[in-house]
Amino acid sequence: MNPLPASLGSPIVFARALQVAREAGLDRGALRELQGHEAWTERPWIWDRIMRAIRVDGFPIRVAKEFSVAQVGEFGVAAQTASDLRAAFERLLIHQHVLTGMAVSRMRDDAARGITVLEQLPVEGGGLGARCRREMMMASGLQLARDVTGVWVRPRRVCFAHPRPRDSREHEAFFDCEVRFEAGCDALWFDHEDLALPLPGADPDLSLFLVEHLRAASGDMPPPASLEGRVRQAIYRRLGSGSLAMAAVARELGMSPRTLRRHLLERGSHFHEIVDAARREFAEELLGNRDHKLSEIAFLLGFSDASSFHRAYVRWTGSTPATRRRAPRGA
């Protein structure tokens, strides 16, 4: 499972991480053993090996500070040329989905508190290595925000599911906000005005073109011809990893919510109907795989909890998700 916001398994990033480890005291013998493990972020035992050797709790933060959006290649350009910070994060979530074929994180809005939460799905494994990966993921997300805006973005809060490390001074200095440990999740909390920060290199048309081009080149759902198809595709990309609000989808398609609504009405379509249809179709697919818990499916479909998913599924089909799951395979 790759971290947000980039594939930190690239040779360039791996080399920089080893350089940080060397500066922190990792000896030459240990460095030679780690050489060639470009997919190191998928191997918590490597994090564990480095951390136990250097005994520096702030190592994941130091690695994240070396992150640059340029390391994500053309998707990095798509993020840099997005209209604002929210759109830049959305581009990187798309990159993550194209790269891994799965949702690793999501953005969810809390209108009542005026915040957007950038939340990580649980990372496989436990122990010191997994803890350090989670810290690096969250720190690299904030580093991306500062990189693309040129502004010292200061989140309202950062949360980690694991206990506080022995020395958290580097964490607190880097995040420059309230840092909570044993919080039940790994997430960055941003005020809405922070995500509305314009980007110096904004070029929305170029950004959208690059995203569509790279998605098509990867074989990840080639762009459909119809507007309804493009909306449906955007919704599929966002299930489990982004906002399903019309404003967010319209921004990804390079138009205003009012324009998108008007064009859909001209074609006899409604945005909420397309969202419903996409969710229902994806729900049937996920329910067919009994490895997924109902709570996980609710998350991937963008529902706040399993109860909301249950009510929606009953409305769609007249049956419950549990009943559908008990049905014979292929039914």
Phi then psi dihedrals of residue 291, to 5 deg: -75, -20
Q: For each of the chain's 331 residues, which pLDDT tens digit applies?
A: 333 333 334 555 666 777 888 888 888 887 777 765 555 445 667 788 888 888 999 999 999 998 877 776 777 888 888 889 998 888 877 776 666 555 677 888 887 888 888 888 765 556 888 888 889 889 989 999 999 999 999 999 999 999 999 999 999 999 999 999 999 889 999 999 999 999 998 887 788 777 777 666 655 554 445 778 888 878 877 776 556 888 888 877 767 888 888 888 888 889 999 999 888 888 888 887 776 788 878 877 878 788 989 999 999 999 999 888 877 655 5
User: Which of 289, 315, 283 lies closest to 302 in space, CA to CA?
Assistant: 283
Residues 182 and 330 in one domain: no
User: Which of 86, 123, 73 lies closest to 102 in space, CA to CA?
Assistant: 123
Residues 233 and 153 in one domain: no
Note whether residue 131 is domain-resident: yes
3-state class (DSSP) for residue 197: coil
Residues 189 and 247 in one domain: no
Run of H or E residues at 139: helix 127-149
Note whether residue 213 is domain-resident: no
Residues 177 and 246 in one domain: no
Note whether residue 326 is domain-resident: yes
Residues 41 and 135 in one domain: yes
Q: Looking up tokens 């008007």, which residue turns up?
A: 262
8 Å CB contact between 53 and 10: no
Residues 30 and 121 in one domain: yes
- Tell me whether strands 105-110 and 115-120 are parallel, antiparallel or unpaired: antiparallel
8 Å CB contact between 63 and 16: yes
Q: Token pair of 234, please?
A: 């955007």
Specify the pLDDT at position 18.
78
Residues 24 and 126 in one domain: yes
Note whether residue 141 is domain-resident: yes
| Domain-ending residue, one of 149, 174, 195 | 195
Phi then psi dihedrals of residue 174, to 5 deg: -70, -50
Q: What is the CATH number of the domain that holds 324?
A: 1.10.10.60
Specify the pLDDT at position 60.
93
pLDDT by residue (tens digit) across 179-212?
999 998 899 999 999 999 999 988 877 887 777 7
Would you tell me how many other CB atoms lie within 10 Å of the CB of residue 153? 22
8 Å CB contact between 207 and 148: no
- Tell me whether strands 186-191 and 178-180 are parallel, antiparallel or unpaired: unpaired
Specify the pLDDT at position 125.
58
User: Which of 128, 142, 129 lies closest to 174 in space, CA to CA?
Assistant: 142
User: Which of 133, 138, 170 lies closest to 155 in space, CA to CA?
Assistant: 138
Whole-model pTM above 0.85?
no
Specify the pLDDT at position 112.
81
For the chain, what is the domain count?
2
Which letter, b or e, does each residue of 281-310 get, where b requires 16 or more Cβ atoms within 10 Å of its Cβ?
ebbeebbeeeebebebbbbbbbbeebeebb
Specify the pLDDT at position 258.
87
8 Å CB contact between 262 and 104: no
8 Å CB contact between 294 and 309: yes
Residues 15 and 155 in one domain: yes
Note whether residue 218 is domain-resident: no
Rounded-to-integer distance, Cα 229 and Cα 234, Å: 9
8 Å CB contact between 12 and 71: yes
Note whether residue 201 is domain-resident: no
8 Å CB contact between 199 and 80: yes
Residues 191 and 228 in one domain: no
Note whether residue 202 is domain-resident: no
Residues 44 and 189 in one domain: yes
| Domain-ending residue, one of 174, 195, 216 | 195
Write down the number of H helices and E strands in the chain.
Answer: 17, 5
8 Å CB contact between 239 and 106: no
Rounded-to-integer distance, Cα 96 and Cα 79, Å: 12
Residues 281 and 147 in one domain: no
| Domain-ending residue, one of 195, 215, 233 | 195
Which residues constitute the domain of residue 229? 224-331
Measured in whole angstroms, how far is the alpha carbon of residue 129 from the centre of its chain? 20
3-state class (DSSP) for residue 199: coil
Residues 228 and 188 in one domain: no
Note whether residue 4 is domain-resident: no
Q: Token pair of 14, please?
A: 């791996």
Q: Token pair of 151, please?
A: 């502004």
